[in-house]
Amino acid sequence: MRITLIPALLLALIFFLIPVFIMFYQGLFDPEFTTQHFDRFWNRGAYLRIFINSVKISAITGLLCVLIGYPTAYFIVRRPPSVRPILLFLVLVPMWMSVLVRTYAWMVLLGREGLINMALVYVGILDEPIKMMYTSGAVYVAMVQILLPVAVITCYGTMADIDQSLLSAARVMGAKPFAAFRRVFLPLSLEGAVTGFLIVFVLSMGFFIVPALVGGPKDTMVANIIAVQVAKANWGFAASVALILLVFTLIAMTLIRVVSKRLIYSAREETS
Amino acid sequence: MKSLRNSPGSVLMTLFFILTILFLFFPIMVILPMSFSAGETLQFPPKSWGLRWYREYFNDDLWRASTFRSLRIALMASILSTAAGTLAAVGLDRTRKSLVPVFTGLFLAPAIIPNVIIALGVFIMAVWTGLTSSEPLLVMVHAMLGLPFVLLIVGAALRQQDPSLENAARVFGAGPVQAFVTATLPPLTPAIISSLIFAFFISFDELIFALFVMGGKVTLPVRIWSDLQHFINPTIASVSTIFIIATTLAMTTAEILRRRSANRNA
């Protein structure tokens, strides 16, 4: 090990690893070992419901991001190499925009007197403005817009590694365009799509700005419980919820990894 | 390939791509004209134009204080993060292969693990040590959050670099530090500047740690957050516009730097 690693190691140790351990302690000891915080989580239906709801919102967000992100990445990777960085840049700039600012933009757009309602009434699709803010739909639109670039770059990462001439080869051998895509490109790029879903899913599980600002009471997510409990100084309970979230994210990450590997390998054998 | 590009399928794909980009940019771009409204509320397009909401922002002591606090914290955090991350990237390049995944895993984890979890731990730690409302604490936390990005950017630049440069410097009698500073560091400059930019924005936009740890010392994101919970304050449109323009300029600079360094190494 090199001494130059020390400053970064200290930062990661003191401000990441130790805090996570402190949270374990806070969730499990009060001051003696106790499972009371976890009992509270499991026994009050409301918390469990919020957790399951977060899993649902995150899974749907992940799916939507991959469904839009995969074709977007495919479009970019099929362009000449000189054009690709410019198109990727167009996707990356919004990714670095403040999440708060982007959520605010949706608040402005989706309001009863917001631009979208006004436009729909003006065009005649709506007779009068409808409620868009504080709905699940608003949460999905904002979350997909915020996380879509992540799905695009993950899909693009694996696609860029695929030898593009494989597709042309399949065409030369007589495969129709879509068949060439399905039999050759899709199996090879599936890993990026699954990883993209996984990353968006895990990132969504930690979201709290969007559900708090554009969602209704039904759209509360796990991170919102943690923030509220911290404000109420219920650290033990907040820590136990955070622990459940941590364990869940870690399990979800390993599980989907294993499943995706098997899926990808079986698909590859089928092609070969 | 030509025939592929003009097929109806590819026209659809192009349309799909344009729609996706519009979806990504549209909400951001709508804010810009709205912030120049002279009216009481936000309108699109504004009925009358003016800098009213910018004056509101710049003349308010509390907005100014939180902006300067965030700028200060982001500046220090990005320098600290880039320094520690660059040194770590160089160190990882020369660490035993079996250990590298352990370290990279540790450094990259905060980019994936929900920040609210780490923030809660940091908050409890701050209470135990009496370091709540401490700017230096937030600076170091933000530096930790920037590490994954610095490591990826500088690491990528390092892998393209010829290690024999530093060896040559050593052969000609330079000490390890001198060899590093004169041979390894200069070609990394574009990557280091990009890292500074990215780490700066990670900190400048960070809400949850600041919300938990900083108490009454409100940062700019905390101020925006607490305003948004009550009402749609048009002042936020002007703050957002400044955010948007700054991010776009900074990202463009980072992209140009990245391309320049890629061309040099090619």
Q: How confident is the model at residue A272 (pLDDT cuts 50, 70, 90)?
A: very low
| Interface residue A213 vs chain B (CB under 8 A) | yes
Question: Which of B113, B184, B211, B242 is best to mutate for the A interface (most A CBs within 10 A)?
Answer: B113
| Residues of B whose CB is below 8 A from A242 | 116-117, 120-121
| Residues of A whose CB is below 8 A from B27 | 102, 105-106, 109, 145
Q: Is the per-residue pLDDT at A73 higher than 50?
A: yes
User: Which ranges constitute the DSSP H helices of A162-234?
Assistant: 165-172, 177-180, 186-205, 209-214, 222-231
**What is the average pLDDT across B167-186?**
80
Q: Out of A182-186, A259-263, B210-214, which region has the weakest mean confidence (pLDDT)?
A: A259-263
Can you tell me the distance from the alpha carbon of B129 to that of A6, in angstroms, rounded to the nearest whole number? 23
Can you tell me the distance from the alpha carbon of A141 to that of A134, in angstroms, rounded to the nearest whole number? 12
Q: How confident is the model at residue A256 (pLDDT cuts 50, 70, 90)?
A: low
Confirm whether A23 is domain-assigned.
no
CB distance A100–B207 less than 8 Å? yes
Instruction: Determine the 3-state secondary structure of B49 from DSSP.
Output: strand
Asked if B207 and B50 count as a contact pair (C-beta separation under 8 A), the reply is no
Residue of B nearest to A222 (CA): B116
The HSE-up count of residue A126 (CA atoms within 13 Å, CB side) is 14
The sign of the CA dihedral B120, B122, B125, B127 is negative
CB atoms under 10 Å from CB of B122, counted, come to 29
Instruction: State pLDDT tens for residues B232-252.
Output: 678 999 999 999 999 999 999
Q: Could you give the number of structural domains in chain A?
A: 1
Q: Out of A11-25, A103-117, B141-155, B236-250, which region has the weakest mean confidence (pLDDT)?
A: A103-117
CATH of residue A192's domain is 1.10.3720.10
> Residue A104: which of B85, B123, B228 has the nearest Cβ?
B228
> What are residue B229's phi and psi, to 5 degrees?
-75, -20
Structure tokens at B66: 């939180």
A255-261 long-range Cβ contacts below 8 angstroms, 24+ apart? A256/A194, A256/A197, A256/A198, A256/A201, A257/A198, A260/A190, A260/A191, A260/A194, A260/A195, A260/A198
**What is the average pLDDT across B35-54?**
82
CB atoms under 10 Å from CB of B76, counted, come to 18
Instruction: Determine the 3-state secondary structure of A29 from DSSP.
Output: strand
Cβ-Cβ contacts under 8 Å between A and B: the total is: 233
Q: Out of A85-89, A128-132, B126-130, B237-241, which region has the weakest mean confidence (pLDDT)?
A: A128-132
Supply the DSSP symbol for B165. Answer: H
Residue of B nearest to A235 (CA): B124
Residue type, A225: I
Structure tokens at B73: 């914290």
CB atoms under 10 Å from CB of B28, counted, come to 22
CA B22 to chain centre: 23
Q: How confident is the model at residue A269 (pLDDT cuts 50, 70, 90)?
A: low
Question: Mutual orientation of helices A36-43 and A45-77 as an angle, nearest 10°?
Answer: 80
Residues 6+ apart with CB under 8 A from A238: A225, A226, A229, A230, B120
**How much is the ipTM here?**
0.89
Confirm whether A24 is domain-assigned.
no
Q: How confident is the model at residue A72 (pLDDT cuts 50, 70, 90)?
A: very high
**What is the average pLDDT across A29-40?**
83
CB distance B30–A2 less than 8 Å? no
CB distance B91–A4 less than 8 Å? yes
Structure tokens at A63: 């799916």
CB distance B17–A75 less than 8 Å? yes
Residues 6+ apart with CB under 8 A from B16: A71, A72, A75
> Residue A208: which of B30, B95, B116 has the nearest Cβ?
B116
Can you tell me the distance from the alpha carbon of B90 to that of B159, in angstroms, rounded to the nearest whole number? 10
Q: What is the mean pLDDT of chain B?
A: 88
Q: Is the per-residue pLDDT at B1 higher than 70?
A: no
Asked if A57 and A204 count as a contact pair (C-beta separation under 8 A), the reply is yes
The alpha carbon of residue B172 is apart from the nearest alpha carbon of chain A, in Å, by: 22
Indicate the burial class of B209 (C-beta count within 10 angstroms; 0-12, 13-18, 19 or more).
buried
What pLDDT, on the 0 to 100 scale, is given for residue A266? Answer: 59
Domain, as residue range, for A87: 37-271
- Helix/strand/coil percent split, chain A, to 5: 80, 0, 20
What pLDDT, on the 0 to 100 scale, is given for residue A268? Answer: 55
CB distance A177–B9 less than 8 Å? yes
Tokens 């967000």 — which residue? A61
Confirm whether A112 is domain-assigned.
yes
CB distance A168–B211 less than 8 Å? no
Instruction: Determine the 3-state secondary structure of A83 from DSSP.
Output: coil
Q: Is the per-residue pLDDT at B166 higher than 70?
A: yes
Instruction: State pLDDT tens for residues A36-45.
Output: 888 888 888 8
Question: What is the number of residues in chain A?
Answer: 272
Interface of A with B in 30-59 (CB under 8 A): none
Instruction: State pLDDT tens for residues B55-78.
Output: 989 999 999 999 999 999 999 999
Query: Which of these, A103, A95, A58, A55, lies nearest to A203 by C-alpha position?
Result: A58
The H or E element that residue A135 is part of is: none
Torsion of CA A126, A111, A208, B143, to 10 degrees: 120
CB distance A249–B31 less than 8 Å? no
| B143 or B157: which leads in pLDDT | B143
Over pLDDT 90: what percentage of chain B? 55
Q: How confident is the model at residue B105 (pLDDT cuts 50, 70, 90)?
A: confident
Can you tell me the distance from the alpha carbon of B260 to that of B216, in angstroms, rounded to the nearest whole number? 43
| A162 or B19: which leads in pLDDT | B19
Question: Which of A3, A65, A87, A96 is best to mutate for the B interface (most B CBs within 10 A)?
Answer: A96
Residue of B nearest to A119 (CA): B44
CATH superfamily, with its number, for domain B60-265:
MetI-like (1.10.3720.10)
- A29 bridge partner residues: A33
CB distance A145–B24 less than 8 Å? yes
Instruction: State pLDDT tens for residues A184-239.
Output: 888 888 888 988 999 999 999 999 999 999 999 899 999 999 999 998 989 899 99
Asked if A238 and A40 count as a contact pair (C-beta separation under 8 A), the reply is no
Residue of A nearest to B138 (CA): A15
Determine the number of helices (DSSP H) and then strands (DSSP E) in chain A.
14, 0
Interface of A with B in 99-138 (CB under 8 A): 99-109, 111, 115, 118
> Residue A108: which of B34, B124, B204 has the nearest Cβ?
B34
**What is the average pLDDT across B146-163?**
88
Supply the DSSP symbol for A156. Answer: H
Q: Within chain A, what is the greatest distance between any pair of CA atoms?
A: 72
